[in-house]
Amino acid sequence: MKLRGHFNYYGITGNGSALAGFLYRTMHMWFKWLRRRSHKARRTWEWYRALLLRFPLPKPTPVHSVLIM
């Protein structure tokens, strides 16, 4: 998954807030595009939350430790 690869690459200590912001923006963009694809009815946030429960996105976790001297 693209999101997991991004988190693995940028997942260094001290970068957690940037990764959380990236996940937040990604979730909103995904909702926007899924909502636009629906021709029958407008999708709601409740529908999207149920979708995220069924197909959860990976959580950002630091995988690399960087020592700053």
CA distance 52 to 57: 7
**Paired tokens of 64:** 């690399």
Buried b (16+ CB within 10 A) or exposed e, 50-67: eeeeeeeeeebeeeeeee
Instruction: Report the chain (69 residues): mean pLDDT per 10 consecutive residues.
Output: 84 87 92 83 89 91 73
Query: In terms of Cα–Cα distance, which of 11, 31, 30 is closest to 19?
Result: 11
Predicted TM-score of the model (pTM) = 0.76
Query: What 3-state class would DSSP assign to 67?
Result: coil
